[in-house]
Structure 1
Amino acid sequence: MTSHQVQLLFIDLGLILFLARTLGYLATRVNQPAVVGEIVAGVLLGPSLFNGAVPDLLFPADIRPLLAGMADVGVALFMFAIGLELERATLRGRSRVTGGAIVGSTVAPFLLGIGLAFYLLRTHEPENRAGFVVFIGLVISVTAFPVLARILSERGLSKSAIGGIALATAASVDVVAWTALAAVQATMDGSDEHWRVALAIPYVLITAFVVRPVLRAVFVRKGRAVALGPWHLPMLFTGVLLSGAATEAMGMHFIFGAFLFGTVMPREKTAALRAEIHERTGQVTSLLLPVYFVVAGLGVDLGSMNAGRFAELALILVVAVVGKIGGTYLGARSQGLPARPAVSLGVLMNTRGLTELVILGVGLQIGLLDTEMYSLMVVMAVVTTAMTGPLLARIHRKPLDLAREPEPVGPGPTTVSKT
């Protein structure tokens, strides 16, 4: 690197961190997740304003790969943290209500997204039309598990029954989404070595039956979690990066390897240890993820929006909101959840946030999305995430909670009543 590149890189990083933190703080002041302000910061630094003069000046072509590399490391650690947060007990769900919500929150938006994709093909010409159709369905059906968890925590809903159902549903939907995205990317691999994707099966088995026991031996001694030592985090981060490199070599995105590594961390009697690892990882990602927002924002160009594009954006928003809220509502109601809690659950599932940005970034990278479609989808991710807080405040003006009931031991419908 030349001295000029070093200077510009340091200036860019300082500006990114300052603007992301400032707008993130302002977002929290209006009861929005900080991620909304941070995404907006990335869009503001992109080509949407001043005819693209800002990114051309601050982020020239020789600096962008350096920022993209840092952003990728941040996303890998973020995906590791998501995998670390997932609880297998949560994924098993709490009742038939959770199962109904999972089906409704996945199938309805996916099918509506496929219909939307066929409409969008009228004005967009992706190289792989089938891949585009499936990808749009996937994008519409995503829920941001980590953002949702933080919203529930901030509003004191984490320990409530509706919060538990929401977390179980979102976790399951995210696992389905990442699996489907891996399949879509595998079909989009331009090489003639598609056989590499089959290596994912033995890799998952090795991770589950070799890596997990090793991690358990390292972090659990005599039935108790060990204290986090100075070499534990470097070891974990090395594992995350190597796992990401492995899945990338198999023709899938590195996010799958990072996510998988987080899921195989030992769960038994390690809650406090995992919380500490998550906090330490968050300290690193809090510095690197804003870089990802800016790299993502550099691909968002709203300056050339015309009436046709605004009409497409409106349609995308309607399909995304109706699919998620409506599908979750119908799925939960079919299993006996009362109407108002079912609406609340649907609003929570409509949260997309950073998870959506990661998936959209993959779509842009592998050529399923052009710049215009990517821009519209990023706006949809911001708007649907920003909707969550105000809608929840309106729904929860009156006390709303559900009595936890034990899982049924025999056949028969399960109902959950209001307290």
Structure 2
Amino acid sequence: MTPEQLQSFFLGLAAILALSRLLGAAARRIGQPPVVGELLAGVLVGPTLFGGALAGHLFPTDIRPMLGALADLGLVLFMFVVGYELDLTRLRGRERVAVSVSLCSVLVPLTLGGLLALYLAERHATGSRAAFVLFLGAAMAVTAFPVLARILADSGLGRTRIGGIALAAAALDDILAWSLLAVVVTVAGGDGQWRLLLAPAYLAVMLLAVRPCLRRLFEGRRTAPPRAGWEGWAREHVTADQLIVVLGGLLLSCLATAWMGAHFVFGAFLFGAVMPRDTSRRLRHQITDRLEYVTRLLLLPSFFVIAGLQVDLSRLGARGLGELGLILLTAITAKFAGAYAGARLNRVPHAQSGVLAALMNTRGLTELVILTVGLQLNVIDRDLYALMVVMALATTAMTGPLLSLLGRRHGGPAALGDFTFPAEPVESAPLTRTPSGKS
């Protein structure tokens, strides 16, 4: 790296930090999750404005591979945290309604998204048409679990019954969406496609060997009380050696999935998913907090910029606007209708069904990750990628205002969050005639 490249790299990183922080704070001020502003920052520095002059000055072509490496590292850590926080114990007591909402909010967008893909394939499919149709359906079906959790906390719905159902359904959505994406990778093919046959063996090793080793790694780690008089108190903590083992295993898991012909995000997600859940909640928070701190401050903003550099809306003509309208209509209507129908099938009241539908329509960063994978696998072209990024921004930004509107109409978050299911209709018992002839 030359001194000039190093100077450009430092200037680019400083710009990334400033832009993501400023626009993230601005988004928070208007009631939006910070990720909306950070996503917008990535789009604004791209070629959409000023013909790409700003991007060319701040991020010269020769430093973009280095920024891309930081972006990929941020993606690895983000997907690990998503997998680690994927706790299916949230389903307890909510199994039926959460499964119903999740399945309907995936199947309806998957179907309508696939039909839309058949119309868009002639102009935007760059490889296998089947992979393109599956990919667009999967992209329509995703729900951003991390962004959803932040919205629930900010809106006061996090500890309510409706919040618990939404988190459980979103967790299942994550599993279904990544499974669909794995199918897309298989259909898209590649030179190492035969290696995907090793995926069951890899999964078995992760579950039967890696998971027990990780459990033993974190067992019995306690320290003495910090001050005398705190009897019975013990504070579990994560040591540097433990964190190094986790990070090393994470990178090896990404290497394995990349070698098999899948994307490295699957390795990161799966390694997080096999992390032991029977350790203490304090220990889990320490691991995720330590990794999320640098990831959200520096690495993910780099990912937003790299993603934004590939979004060019300046060439969007009448046909492009029409396609964007169709994409937004399909994404919003299908997700909302699917989640609402899934809730109503389980007799969730109309207002709360609407809240669930609005929450499940949140796509956020998870959508951007899936779109990036599709672009890297050459499943979609850059024009469709740009339109889908706009859809991700719009569907994430509309969640807060929709919740506020529903709250004003139905008595606030507390009234929306906690509810009871309507009573089952009781059928009257048939009259029986006694031996005396009386009923």
Q: Normalised by the size of structure 1, how large is the TM-score?
A: 0.93
1:235 corresponds to which of 228, 236, 245: 245
> Residue 167 in 1 paired to residue 167 in 2?
yes
What is the 5 A alignment of 1:383-402?
A: 383-397=394-408, 398=411, 399-402=415-418
SS of the counterpart of 1:400? helix
Count of paired positions: 406
**For 1:58-90, what per-residue CA distance to the aligned partner results, in whole angstroms no more than 9, with x for missing partners?**
222221111111100001000010111111212
Q: Which residue of 1 aligns with 2:378?
A: 367
What is the 5 A alignment of 1:113-124?
A: 113-124=113-124
Is contact 1:328-1:342 (8 Å) kept? yes
Is contact 2:125-2:380 (8 Å) kept? no
Is contact 2:363-2:395 (8 Å) kept? yes
Q: Which residue of 1 aligns with 2:225?
A: none
Work out the CA distance in 1 between the residues paired with 2:126 and 2:275. 39
Q: Which residue of 1 aligns with 2:206?
A: 207
CA-CA distance at 1:53 after TM superposition: 1.5
Work out the CA distance in 1 between the residues paired with 2:69 and 2:221. 40
Work out the CA distance in 1 between the residues paired with 2:145 and 2:320. 29
Work out the CA distance in 1 between the residues paired with 2:34 and 2:200. 37
Is contact 1:220-1:226 (8 Å) kept? no
Is contact 1:27-1:36 (8 Å) kept? yes
Q: Which residue of 2 aligns with 1:14?
A: 14
Work out the CA distance in 1 between the residues paired with 2:235 and 2:117. 48
Q: Which residue of 1 aligns with 2:194?
A: 195
Is contact 1:219-1:225 (8 Å) kept? no
Tell which structure's C-alpha radius of gyration is larger. Answer: 2
Q: Which residue of 1 aligns with 2:25?
A: 25
Q: Which residue of 2 aligns with 1:273?
A: 283
Work out the CA distance in 1 between the residues paired with 2:264 and 2:389. 21
Change (3 A) 1:104 1:53: same
Q: Which residue of 2 aligns with 1:80?
A: 80
Is contact 1:102-1:173 (8 Å) kept? yes
Structure 1, gaps ≥5 residues long: 406-411, 414-419
Q: Normalised by the size of structure 2, how large is the TM-score?
A: 0.89
Is contact 2:109-2:141 (8 Å) kept? yes
SS of the counterpart of 1:63? helix
Work out the CA distance in 1 between the residues paired with 2:93 and 2:39. 31
> Residue 341 in 1 paired to residue 340 in 2?
no
Is contact 1:161-1:404 (8 Å) kept? no
Q: Which residue of 2 aligns with 1:416?
A: none
SS of the counterpart of 1:123? helix
Is contact 2:91-2:98 (8 Å) kept? no
- Aligned-partner residue type, residue 168 of structure 1: A
Work out the CA distance in 2 between the residues paired with 1:124 and 1:252. 22
What is the 5 A alignment of 1:151-162?
A: 151-162=151-162
Work out the CA distance in 1 between the residues paired with 2:68 and 2:39. 16
SS of the counterpart of 1:228? coil
Is contact 1:219-1:226 (8 Å) kept? no
CA-CA distance at 1:161 after TM superposition: 0.6
Return 159-168 or 120-129, whichever deviates more.
120-129
What is the 5 A alignment of 1:243-392?
A: 243-286=253-296, 287-392=298-403
Q: CA RMSD in A?
A: 1.7
CA-CA distance at 1:160 after TM superposition: 0.7
Work out the CA distance in 1 between the residues paired with 2:95 and 2:418. 12
Is contact 2:221-2:236 (8 Å) kept? no
- Aligned-partner residue type, residue 131 of structure 2: G
- Aligned-partner residue type, residue 335 of structure 2: K
Work out the CA distance in 2 between the residues paired with 1:73 and 1:263. 18
Work out the CA distance in 1 between the residues paired with 2:91 and 2:17. 35
Work out the CA distance in 1 between the residues paired with 2:385 and 2:93. 33
